[in-house]
Structure 1
Amino acid sequence: MSEAMMVSPPQLRLLGQFRLELGTETVELCRNGQRLLAFMGLRGRVSRTVLAGTLWPEVTEEHARGSLRTTLWKLPRGEPPLIVCCGDSLLVTPALRVDVHVLTRTALDVVEDCGPPSYTRPPLELLTGEDLLPGWDEEWVLVERERLRQLRLHALDTLAESLIRQGRTALGMEAAWAGVRAEPLRESAHRAIVSAHLAEGNISEAVRHYEAFRRLLHQELGVAPSSRFARMLPERLSERTAPRNRDLARRDCLRAWFR
C-alpha cells in the first residue's frame, strides 16, 4: 500500500454512484462487496445474522453466512481493516469517512438550529446533491433513501426560513426552490417562496406564486392550499381568494356526492 493510502483516511461515497477511495486511489469492488460495505457504512455495527439475512434473503442461513464470509475475505486489506469483527457483530472502522453521515449531521444541525446564527455559506450544495445509490432497488436502500430525502426537505425548509429572517432573501429563495424541485407539491417550500417575495415587498409576485400553486394543487390532488398559506397574503387578497377556495371545495364535494 502506498504512503498516500496509509496517511489519508478511507472515504466511502454513497451519494450518487458507489465509490470507495483509499488515499488517492479508487478501489473497484465486486457487487456483493459494494452492497456489504454500503450497508455497513450506513449502519456502523451489524450482527452477522442480520447482515447475511439482509444481503442474501433468498437463500438458506448457512448459504448466506458462507456468502458473507467470502465477501468479507474479498474486501481490500489495509491497516486498519475496513470491517472489524467483534464477536458475532461486524463494525466499520472509525477511520472510514462516509458522505451520508456528513449530510445527516449537516441537515440535523440546520433543522435543530445548532449552527451559527448566520450561515456564511449556506450548505445548499450538500442539501441538494445526489440521492443515495441511485439505481439500487433493494428494500434497505429504498428505506434509507427516503429517510435522507425527507431530512433534506426539512433542512431546506428550515434553511429557507432562517435565511429569509436574516434578510438574505435571494439565498432563502434558492433553498425554497430546491425544495420545490425535489417535491413540487410540498406546501412548506411554496410558503417560503411567498414569504421571500413578501419580505422584498413584491406582493404581486407573492400572489402570482400562491395562485400558481393553488391551481397545481387542485389539478393534482383536488384540494386547496391550507388556511395558513392563505393568511400569509395581505388581508384583502386573502379574502378574495378564500371564497374561490371554498367554491372549489364545495364543487368537489358535490361531484363526489353525485357520482
Structure 2
Amino acid sequence: MGTVSTADIPVLSLSLLGRFALTYGPTAVDVGIAAQRLLAYLGLRRHGTRTVVAGTLWPDVTEERAHGSLRTALWRLNRGREPLVCSEGDTLALAEGVTVDARTLMDSALHVVGGPSLDPVPNLLFAGDLLPGWDDDWLLFERERLRQLRLHALDALAYRLLEEGRHALALEAALESVRIEPLRESAHRAVVAVHLAEQNVGEAVRHYGAFRDLLRTELGIAPSSDFTSMLPACALTCD
C-alpha cells in the first residue's frame, strides 16, 4: 500500500481578510453566524478561556446564556468532523492544523519590518480588510492593530524595494498604504521618493501638491518640512 503524501491532505483554512470563509481543501464549509464569530475570535486572539470568550462574544446576555451559546457553537463546529476548536482545561484554541490568513498577514508584516529578505514579495499585504461589515466591539481593536501593522509594513516594503531598484513594486506598496490611510504622510513620502528615483519630478510634485491640498482641506495643516524638502522649490509655489 502506498503512502499518502502530506501534500494530498486537504488543509482547513480560515479566511478573515475581505470576507469570512472556511474551507477544507477546495470545499467551502458552512457554519452558523455564532460559530463564525467564535472561529474569528480564536483565529485572531489565538486562545481564550471559556468565560472570557463567552463574555466577549455574547456581551448582552447573562453569563449562563453566554456559556450556553458557546457550548452550542462548539458542538456545531466539532460535530461529524475533525475538531476545529480544541480545549485544554478551560482554554479554547483553534485546532493546530487550521491556517488563518490574518495570522499569515501579521507574520508577513513583521518579517517585512524586521526581516532580511523580500523574496517573494508578500502578497497578503495587499489583501482585503479584516472582516468588513462586522461591527463587534472586540473586533475594532483587532482591526486597528492589523491596519497599523500593515501600514508600517507597506511603508517599509516600499523603501526596501526602492533600495533594490524595484520601482514598480515599490510604488504599488506605497500606493496601497495611501489607499488604506490617505492622510498618512509617510506613505505619500514613499510615493514621492519612488517618483524622484525614476526622475519623474513632475509626478512627484503633482503627488505632493495633491497631498498638501488634502491636508489643508481635511485637517487645516501643511505637510512636514521633511516632506517639503524632498522637492524642488516650485512645489511650494505652484498651485
Provide the TM-score with structure 1 as the length reference: 0.83
SS of the residue 2:218 aligns to: helix
| CA positional deviation for 1:136 | 0.6
Conserved 8 A contact 2:175-2:191 = yes
2:169 is aligned with what amino acid? L
Which structure ranks higher in relative contact order (CA pairs < 8 Å, sequence separation ≥ 6)? 2
Please point out which of 217, 220, 223 is paired with 1:219: 217
How many positions carry a matched residue from both structures? 232
Give 1:88's aligned residue.
Answer: 90
Q: Deviations over 1:196-252 (max 9, x none)?
A: 121122223222222221122111111000011012124xx17x73xx7xxxxxxxx
Q: Distance in 1 between matches of 2:206 and 2:32?
A: 52
Which secondary structure does the structure 2 equivalent of 1:211 belong to?
helix
2:132 matched to which residue of 1?
Answer: 134
Partner residue in 1 for 2:121: 122
Corresponding letter in the other structure for 1:21: T
2:71 maps to what in 1? 69
Dislocated runs of 4+, deviation >6 Å: none
Partner of 1:59, secondary structure, is coil
User: Compared with structure 1, are the counterparts of its residues 131 and 152 closer, same or farther at alpha carbon in structure 2 (3 Å cutoff)?
Assistant: same
Unaligned runs of 5+ in 1: 245-259
Query: 1:191 and 2:189 equivalent?
Result: yes
**Deviation at 1:184?**
1.4
Q: CA deviation at 1:131?
A: 0.9
Deviations 1:63-87 (A, max 9, x none): 1111111111111436642111211
CA separation of 1:203 and 1:25: change in aligned 2, threshold 3 A: closer
1:97 match: 99
What is the rounded CA distance, in whole Å, between the counterparts of 1:90 and 1:69 in structure 2? 12
Structure 2 match to 1:28: 30
Among 18, 37, 40, the residue aligned to 1:38: 40
Task: Tell me what 1:58 maps to.
Answer: 60
The alpha-carbon deviation at position 121 of structure 1 amounts to 4.0
Which of the pair has more CA radius of gyration?
1
For residue 158 of structure 2, the aligned residue among 151, 157, 160 is: 160
How well do the aligned residues superpose, as a CA RMSD in angstroms?
2.1
Unaligned runs of 5+ in 2: none
Matched position secondary structure for 2:231? coil
Distance 1:110 1:169 in 2: 17
Q: What secondary structure is seen at the aligned counterpart in 2 of 1:75?
A: helix
Report whether the alignment pairs 1:14 with 2:16. Answer: yes
Between the aligned partners of 1:169 and 1:218, the Cα distance in structure 2 is 29
Q: Distance in 2 between matches of 1:52 and 1:221?
A: 41
Q: Secondary structure at the match of 1:51?
A: helix
AA aligned opposite 1:103: L
- Following the alignment from structure 1 to structure 2, what is the Cα–Cα distance between the partners of residues 200 and 7? 47
In structure 1, C-alpha distance between the alignment counterparts of 2:12 and 2:28, rounded to whole Å: 10
Q: Which residue of 2 is the match for residue 204 of structure 1?
A: 202
C-alpha distance in structure 2 between counterparts of 1:122 and 1:185, whole Å: 25
Counterpart secondary structure, 1:137: coil
Which of 128, 142, 145 pairs up with 1:144? 142
Q: C-alpha distance in 2, partners of 1:91/1:212?
A: 47
CA contact (8 A) 2:78 2:85 kept: no
